[in-house]
Amino acid sequence: MAIPAFLFAQFGVSITIAPPALPVYEQPMVPSVGYLWTPGYWSYGDEGYFWVPGTWVEPPTAGLLWTPGYWGWGGDAFAWNEGYWGQSVGFYGGVNYGFGYGGVGYEGGYWNNGAFFYNRSVNNVNVTNITNVYSKTVINETAVNHVSYNGGEGGLIARPTAAEETAMHQQHTPATAMQTQHVHAASTNHELLASVNHGRPAVAATAKPGEFSGSGAVAAKEAGAPYKAPAAESKAATIRTNENKTAENKAAESKATENKAAESKAATTRTNENKAAENKAAESKATENKAAESKAVTTRTNENKAAENKAATTRTNENKAAESKAATTRTNENKAAENKAAENKAAKPKQARPPSESKPTTAHAQPAPKPAPVAHAQAAPKPAPAAHAQPASKPATVAHAQPAPHPAKEAPKTEDRPRN
């Protein structure tokens, strides 16, 4: 039976060989809250079918559900219908992928106010870490049916329901970047080729996209059905393998030659660039050194001139200050000397005048001694310097002066004394 043409709007490739049966495996534990399960499936590449492990994925946004892709017979070939994210789960060919995807709709959980609640009966959930859980028995989950495609010989006979057709026409979001990388990683893993694992892949499911090793990687327990490699596929696979090896060897040799040429050219270029850079750096350094030396010389010259000018100014100021101080000191000393001399001159005593002549008594009258002649009259001595000046002695007072006695007789006249 053929699938209606409108169901193949999203097909990616078409092939006349039916995909192998779905392998039997266990689901790894959900890694964290908010991850949704995306079932594994057989994809097709240059070397035939290869298994894309089922994995837990974070949806593009809260509230979206995953509709798995599926293979469908279109009358002359099998076409792959891509999966997508949407508000509700659409038609996926009636394929029983397990873990809530029993062929119609999804029984693995639901969204409620931005939080996803997991059905423990079909999902491997650690209730210690995740509390948004519930239990609901899913009848279709126990059905033993591992056919992986719809229509054609040996395929599933299923048609979309009204609800699924509505979901198919709603707004869809394609697979996330992590899902795309997951598929690419599977396509490069030789062990995941159906021609190698015969329907029983070494990695059937992973805890997160692209993690094909470690505790989160789960191997298939068994193949869903005995594997029969088509003769045409086997021959084509062998031819492709040989062609690929030849092409790879040729490409490797060509790449090696190109790499050597590129390395040689790059080495020459680097050498020339390094030399040019070194020459430029040397020239730049020489110019900078000359500029620095010239600047340093100019700076030292200016500093020396400034220092000399400052020193000369300082010495001039000091000399002027010293001369001014010396002049002031001399002026003050001269004034002091003049004042002292004036004081000494004013303080010099006048020469005492001789006492009045008294007439001696008769009994004791003595002739007055003649004054010594004034010989070698000298100029009056200059006043002694201020350092040794002594105050002039005052004339002694005539103590106990007595009135001159009246002469008894007239004494003979004597010569008048010369007066000074």
Residue 232: what pLDDT?
54
Give the rounded percent of residues in the chain with a pLDDT score beyond 70. Answer: 74
More confident residue, 390 or 328: 328
Residue 192: what pLDDT?
97
User: Which of these ranges, 49-53, 190-194, 243-247, has the smallest mean pLDDT?
Assistant: 243-247
Cα angle 282, 286, 287 (rounded to 5 degrees) comes to: 120
**What is the pTM for the complete model shown?**
0.55
Give the mean pLDDT of 176-185.
97
Give the mean pLDDT of 301-311.
81
Residue 331 reports pLDDT greater than 70:
yes
Residue 60 reports pLDDT greater than 70:
yes
Residue 241: what pLDDT?
57
Give the mean pLDDT of 316-340.
83
In angstroms, rounded to a whole number, what is the distance separating the alpha carbons of residues 212 and 202? Answer: 9
Residue 287 reports pLDDT greater than 90:
no
Report the b/e string of 243-259 with b at 16+ CB within 10 A. Answer: eeeeeeeeeeeeeeeee
In angstroms, rounded to a whole number, what is the distance separating the alpha carbons of residues 92 and 122? Answer: 19
The answer to whether 206 and 217 have CB atoms below 8 angstroms apart is yes
Average pLDDT of the chain to the nearest whole number: 79
Residue 387 reports pLDDT greater than 60:
no
Cα angle 234, 236, 239 (rounded to 5 degrees) comes to: 110
Residue 179: what pLDDT?
97
Amino acid at 402: Q
The answer to whether 197 and 186 have CB atoms below 8 angstroms apart is no
Residue 361: what pLDDT?
43
In angstroms, rounded to a whole number, what is the distance separating the alpha carbons of residues 67 and 61? Answer: 15
pLDDT band at 414 (very low <50, low <70, confident <90, very high): very low
- The tens digit of pLDDT for each residue in 93-135 reads 999 999 999 999 999 999 999 999 999 999 999 999 999 999 9
Coil vs helix vs strand at 73: strand
Residue 386 reports pLDDT greater than 50:
no
Residue 140: what pLDDT?
61
Residue 286: what pLDDT?
78
Residue 21 reports pLDDT greater than 70:
yes
The answer to whether 122 and 107 have CB atoms below 8 angstroms apart is yes
